[in-house]
Amino acid sequence: MPEFRLAQAGPLWLTLHVPLSFANPLGLLALLGVPAVLAIHYLQRRTRTIPVATLFLIEQRRDQSRMGRRFERLIGSWPMWLQLLIVVLLAAHLSQPRWPLAGSVQRLAVVVDGSASMRVSKRDLLHQLTTVAQRCQSLARRTEYLVLLDDPTQARLYAGDSLPAMLQALERWNPVGGPVDPTPSLRLARERVGKHGLVVYATDTPLEKLPADAVLLAVGHPLANIGITGLSVGQQDGQAVWRALVCNRSASPQTRAWHLEWDQGMRSPDALVRLAAGGMESLSAAMPAGATRLRLVLDKDEFSLDDSFAFLTPTPKPLTYRHSLPAGLNWLPERLGRSVPGMAAAAPGMAADIVLAAASDGQFPTVLGSGILMSATGDANAKTLAQPVVAVHHPMVAGLSWETLTVQDVPMVPAKPSDVVLVWCGPQPLVSLRPVPLAEGAAAAATPAQQLVLHFNPEFSNMERLPAAAVLFLRYCEEVRLAKRGTSRDQLEPRQALAPLLPGELHGELVSETLDLAGNIVSSRNIPPNGLAGLRAPDEPGFLRVREGATTLIDGAVAFADAREGDFRACATRVATTDVASDSTAGDALGPWWPMVVLLVLLALLASWALIGKASRTQTH
Amino acid sequence: MLPDSQMLLDAARQAAACAARLRLPLRTRVWQGAAGELAGAGTGASMDFQDHRPYFPGDDPRHINWQAYARTGQYTMKLYREEVRPSVDILFDASPSMFLTPEKALRSAGLLHFTLECAQRGGAALSIHLLGQTAARAIEPASVAAMRWVDELPAATASPNTLPDLHAIRLRPNGLRVWISDLLCTGDPAVPLRALGHGHGSGIILCPFAPEEAAPEWAGACDFLDVESGRREARHIDAGVLRRYRAAYDAHFQLWKEQARRFRTPLARIAATGSLESALASGALPAGAVETGT
């Protein structure tokens, strides 16, 4: 990584806004010759003692002082002035001053680390960026700025030629994300500014190597941060209990006070949690009766995002099922009702969300909506299929192991061409997803329902004991739940995309509202149908509601839960930038005058020698 | 630096050689005093005829002009010039500034010996006073001739450059007062000049000077040591300071010359460079402080 050649060379020019830069700022170190020359003359120049009888005729000084004597030993020597001139000219020659060319443009692209930890360092970032930007201003008549996030999918923060506007954009920016590889954004920034532009990666955690000739601007600093790393609500002894983990990310023991607050001004007494250096502690308590919106609060520190955790009383969107399975398969609806939160058998006469049905005579019964269909044929003495069982790459079966699934080698229900087979055994499809044709009058944008098809009879397989099967059924139920129209109570993260949480079929314009702890609306905005992609959770922790008319679709709590961002131990400040002067923007300020400069140096050298020789002869005489 | 024996020997030798050609202006004036070798202001018994006057009873009949009596029948007296012995008071400034450089010390000593030589050759009654910074001391002329006068110099003491009090010195009336001094002191020149002319005396000032004083080549940082007061002063000398110093130096001596002219006291500035004779010829002769011996 190119090092900043002389970061200290700029402040004077930056302050004075003199558009002058140096191709080799290290050359300015030659100016150290100035004090050297002064020191040499000071030490060499001894005062002569002159006996006189006419002291009363020498005019008396007005500035007579004791300290004047040492200072005067440095005054009035032509050789000294000439040698100082030589030093200055040499420094100018070595540092190669550059003057911006007419019409030149210097481009500065800043890729900022969008992780939440950057909130702490934003002020330092603005300060350092101002310095870098002012230095760029000295290189060209015009400067263009581009500010990107390290996540290339995010919109740019600023593009233009106004430094104050750029700083304002960064001032308004609230980072909430997690760590992202900045390489794509850095390459994009390099493409945008060209080879002569400056690409700066602003972060709080120094990196050793950066692509695209980017220079590092690390503005972080280690921080003793105490924060909530996660919270869950579960059941204990038939009672809802919340449990939170608090982590001490510092090298010293810490003590923090905490309390729980909920709904309309309710608040628990303060309690203390003591954390060992780098340790974690668990906090837990029963959910307050009747509480809906809750917030766990720790004492504030510099990084406040993880000092509170907003959550809701978990109330899953209800799911119902109905089955018409043979007795040998009754274990399946029974386990679904026991394992899937909010799942229950449909009341008689009511439509079920999921229908479980078995095939008879090689044909599945007609099921209009979501359902789990399976074969009912089989024989206890039939052989099992010997070919290996493999799964395709599909979210529904991702990460699941099917190798141990044993299925009888009996005639199975064939797959339809529209089926998406998830699990194969040789050429035989075992599990597939079957899309259900949309009913007439359904919205075109509505997501079609899918049925989970088991082409074999689970009764004569080991599917009941197979973990992958349990996960598959759970995933399917959750997908059905997601598509079901109703109120979804979700735990969200800041800026989380909300579109995937919405039911597939929407009828009107959505309204996104942020709520306070009591459920009062803090802010509200309408979401047009084509704006669903931009519908995200708020940047700040709190509570959220998305409704369609009077129907609440999402009732969520937003809490920061990225434990990596709360760890500031690797943060540091490292300003490594480079010489950004380039031929495209700046011309050699002394270019036409170099022969004159060299001539001046030689003349000064000769004159200095001559004067020193003359002075020496005079002294001798 | 005080002159050593070799320097005194050189000074005496130069003074003797110089006194053969130049002398103090003893003969251009009419003196009063004891009988001596120079023409006095009154009538006396010398060989030089001065005037005639009618005879009065009681006149010495030896001086009756008998030839005139034969022609006119009237007694007429022949008057002859008086021959007197002038008195010369040598006032030698023995302050350290007179010996600032070896050249100036040699010249100061040379002037003392020259004055002494001239006075002795003119048959003058001599008295020599060494003027120290705070006191004066009378010494015997033999002490100068024997080159022991340096040993009798008043002890040097640190004191400001002020004019000596010549009134405090008993100067003989009707005498010639030769003041050998570099005049590098502060004060009103009229005061010593008036003292020189006190008692119908006449004064001569022989003023040695060194080129280091008149046209110094100081430059840069200088640590000046005042030889009179012992005071030190560090100064940075540039062309401007040097120019103003020379102007002050010239003005100082211009004031002395004007005052000396007012009191009819020849003031001769004698350079410390070159031979004593050439220095006197170029400095003292035009000022009337010395005259040629022919």
Q: Render pLDDT for A341-397 as a digit per residue (tens, 0 to 9).
A: 888 998 888 888 899 999 877 788 888 889 999 988 877 788 888 889 999 999 999
| Location of structure tokens 């023409």 | B39
- How many Å from the N-terminal Cα to the C-terminal Cα in chain B? 36
Chain A CB contacts of B222 under 8 Å are: 47-48, 50
Q: How far apart are CA A516 and CA B42, in angstroms?
A: 138
DSSP, residue by residue, B5-63: HHHHHHHHHHHHHHHTTEE-S-TTS-B-SSEEEEEEEEEEEEEEEEEEEE--TTS-GGG
Rounded to the nearest angstrom, the gap between the alpha carbon of residue B16 and the centroid of all alpha carbons in its chain is 16
Distance from CA of B44 to the nearest CA of A (A): 49
Q: How confident is the model at residue A109 (pLDDT cuts 50, 70, 90)?
A: very high
CATH 3.40.50 occupies which residues in chain B? 5-26+87-292
Query: What are the tens digits of pLDDT across the range A422-481?
Result: 999 988 999 999 998 765 555 544 556 889 999 988 888 898 899 999 999 999 998 888
Q: What is the dihedral of CA B262, B265, B271, B274, to 10 degrees?
A: 140
Chain B CB contacts of A72 under 8 Å are: 221, 234-236
The reported pLDDT for the residue numbered A237 is: 83
Q: How far apart are CA A436 and CA A444, in angstroms?
A: 14
3 state DSSP class of A359: coil
Residue A414: φ, ψ to 5°: -70, 155
pLDDT at A16 over 60: no
Q: Strands B220-226 and A551-558, how do they pair?
A: unpaired
Select from B226, B236, B244 the Cβ nearest to the Cβ of A55.
B226
- How many Å from the N-terminal Cα to the C-terminal Cα in chain A? 61
Q: How far apart are CA B62 and CA B66, in angstroms?
A: 10
Structure-model confidence comparison of residues A79 and A406, the more confident one: A406
Query: What are the tens digits of pLDDT across the range B35-47?
Result: 566 555 556 666 6
Cβ–Cβ < 8 Å for A279, A248: yes
Interface residues from chain B to A (CB-CB < 8 Å) = 96-97, 100, 161, 182, 184, 186, 213, 217-229, 231-236, 238, 241, 244-245, 248-249, 252
DSSP secondary structure code for residue A306 in this structure: G
Burial of A427 (0-12, 13-18, 19+ CB in 10 A): exposed
Chain B CB contacts of A50 under 8 Å are: 218, 222-225
Among A72-81, A193-202, A349-358, B257-266, the minimum mean pLDDT is found in A72-81
Q: Which tokens belong to A163?
A: 């430094």
Interface contacts A/B by beta carbons within 8 Å: 80
C-alpha angle A17-A21-A25 in degrees, rounded to nearest 5: 130
Chain A CB contacts of B186 under 8 Å are: 56
Q: How far apart are CA B110 and CA B206, in angstroms?
A: 11
The reported pLDDT for the residue numbered A23 is: 73
Chain B CB contacts of A61 under 8 Å are: 235
Distance from CA of A195 to the nearest CA of B (A): 56
Chain B CB contacts of A58 under 8 Å are: 224, 233, 235, 241, 245, 248
pLDDT at A13 over 70: no
The reported pLDDT for the residue numbered B45 is: 60
Rounded to 10 deg, the angle between the A163-172 and A122-137 helix axes is 160
pLDDT at A578 over 80: no
Cβ–Cβ < 8 Å for B192, B207: no
Q: Which tokens belong to B251?
A: 């003005």
Distance from CA of A32 to the nearest CA of B (A): 25
Distance from CA of B213 to the nearest CA of A (A): 7
Query: What are the tens digits of pLDDT across the range A144-161?
Result: 999 999 888 888 999 998
- Please, which residues have CB within 8 angstroms of residue B31's CB and are 6 or more apart in sequence? B38, B39, B40, B41, B84, B85, B86, B174
Cβ–Cβ < 8 Å for B107, B8: no
Rounded to the nearest angstrom, the gap between the alpha carbon of residue A355 and the centroid of all alpha carbons in its chain is 43
Q: How far apart are CA A155 and CA A177, in angstroms?
A: 13
C-alpha angle B139-B18-B263 in degrees, rounded to nearest 5: 65
- Hey, is the C-beta of A65 within 8 angstroms of any chain B C-beta? no
The reported pLDDT for the residue numbered A72 is: 53
Distance from CA of A46 to the nearest CA of B (A): 8
pLDDT at A576 over 80: no
Q: Which tokens belong to A522?
A: 């803090």
Mutate to test the interface with A, among B104, B163, B235, B250 (most CBs of A within 10 A): B235
Domain B5-26+87-292 CATH (choose: 3.40.50, 2.60.40, 1.10.260, 1.10.10)? 3.40.50
The reported pLDDT for the residue numbered A264 is: 79
Select from B221, B231, B244 the Cβ nearest to the Cβ of A72.
B221
Q: Do A50 and B241 touch (CB under 8 A)?
A: no
Side by side, the strands of the sheet bearing A420-425 are A343-345, A319-324, A354-358, A371-374, A450-454, A428-435, A420-425, A389-391
Cβ–Cβ < 8 Å for A149, A182: no
Q: Which amino acid is at A589?
A: A
Identify which of A136, A124, A148, A327 has the alpha carbon closest to the alpha carbon of residue A219.
Answer: A124
- Please, which residues have CB within 8 angstroms of residue A297's CB and are 6 or more apart in sequence? A258, A259, A260, A261, A307, A308
Select from B233, B234, B245 the Cβ nearest to the Cβ of A57.
B245
Q: How confident is the model at residue A579 (pLDDT cuts 50, 70, 90)?
A: low
The greatest distance separating any two alpha carbons of chain A, rounded to the nearest whole angstrom, comes to: 140
Helix (H) / strand (E) containing A496: none
Rounded to 10 deg, the angle between the A331-339 and A467-483 helix axes is 60
Mutate to test the interface with B, among A47, A50, A54, A612 (most CBs of B within 10 A): A54
- Hey, is the C-beta of A618 within 8 angstroms of any chain B C-beta? yes
The reported pLDDT for the residue numbered A65 is: 46
Select from B182, B186, B220 the Cβ nearest to the Cβ of A76.
B220
Q: Which amino acid is at A297?
A: V
DSSP secondary structure code for residue A26 in this structure: G
Q: Do B186 and A56 touch (CB under 8 A)?
A: yes
Cβ–Cβ < 8 Å for A423, A431: yes
Distance from CA of B187 to the nearest CA of A (A): 11
Across-strand partners of B202? B176
Cβ–Cβ < 8 Å for B235, B173: no
Q: Tell me the C-alpha to C-alpha distance, in Å, between residue A577 and each of A183, A227, A351.
A: 18, 33, 66
Q: Which tokens belong to A280?
A: 């974690």
Q: Do A53 and B161 touch (CB under 8 A)?
A: yes
Distance from CA of A87 to the nearest CA of B (A): 23
Q: Which amino acid is at A379?
A: D
pLDDT at A76 over 70: no
Chain B CB contacts of A53 under 8 Å are: 96-97, 100, 161, 182, 184, 213, 226-228
DSSP, residue by residue, A226-286: EEEEEEEEEEETTEEEEEEEEEEESSS-EEEEEEEEETTTEEPPPEEEEE-TT-EEEEEEE
Identify which of A327, A313, A460, A451 has the alpha carbon closest to the alpha carbon of residue A385.
Answer: A460
- Across residues A528-552, what is the average pLDDT? 86
Chain B CB contacts of A618 under 8 Å are: 217, 219
State what percent of residues in chain A have pLDDT above 90.
21
Mutate to test the interface with A, among B181, B233, B238 (most CBs of A within 10 A): B233
Structure-model confidence comparison of residues B278 and A611, the more confident one: B278
C-alpha angle B96-B99-B102 in degrees, rounded to nearest 5: 150
Q: Tell me the C-alpha to C-alpha distance, in Å, between residue A153 and each of A529, A540, B238.
A: 21, 20, 74
Chain A CB contacts of B231 under 8 Å are: 55
Burial of A304 (0-12, 13-18, 19+ CB in 10 A): middle
DSSP secondary structure code for residue A60 in this structure: P
Distance from CA of B273 to the nearest CA of A (A): 17
Q: How far apart are CA B2 and CA A557, in angstroms?
A: 108
Identify which of B152, B150, B156, B155 has the alpha carbon closest to the alpha carbon of residue B228.
Answer: B156
Q: Do B244 and A59 touch (CB under 8 A)?
A: yes
The reported pLDDT for the residue numbered A3 is: 35
Identify which of A264, A240, A288, A298 has the alpha carbon closest to the alpha carbon of residue A515.
Answer: A264
Considering only alpha carbons, which residue of chain B is nearest residue A45? B221
pLDDT at A595 over 80: no
Cβ–Cβ < 8 Å for A497, A535: yes
Across-strand partners of A231? A244
Q: What is the dihedral of CA A167, A169, A172, A178, to 10 degrees?
A: -100
Residue A413: φ, ψ to 5°: -70, 125
Structure-model confidence comparison of residues B271 and A19, the more confident one: B271
The reported pLDDT for the residue numbered A24 is: 80
Helix (H) / strand (E) containing B263: none
Per-residue pLDDT of chain B in tens (294 residues, 90 and over written 9): 788 888 999 999 999 999 999 988 876 666 666 556 655 555 666 666 677 888 888 888 888 888 888 888 888 888 777 666 788 999 999 888 999 999 999 999 999 999 999 988 888 888 999 988 778 888 988 888 888 888 888 776 666 778 888 888 888 888 889 999 999 988 899 999 999 988 888 899 999 999 999 999 887 778 888 888 888 888 878 888 889 999 999 999 999 999 999 999 999 999 999 999 999 999 999 998 898 875
The reported pLDDT for the residue numbered A190 is: 92
Q: Which tokens belong to A53?
A: 């009888």
Q: How confident is the model at residue A535 (pLDDT cuts 50, 70, 90)?
A: confident
Q: How far apart are CA A576 and CA A574, in angstroms?
A: 6
pLDDT at A503 over 90: no
3 state DSSP class of A67: coil
Distance from CA of A610 to the nearest CA of B (A): 17
Query: What are the tens digits of pLDDT across the range A289-341?
Result: 888 889 999 988 888 888 889 998 878 888 999 988 888 888 899 998 888 88
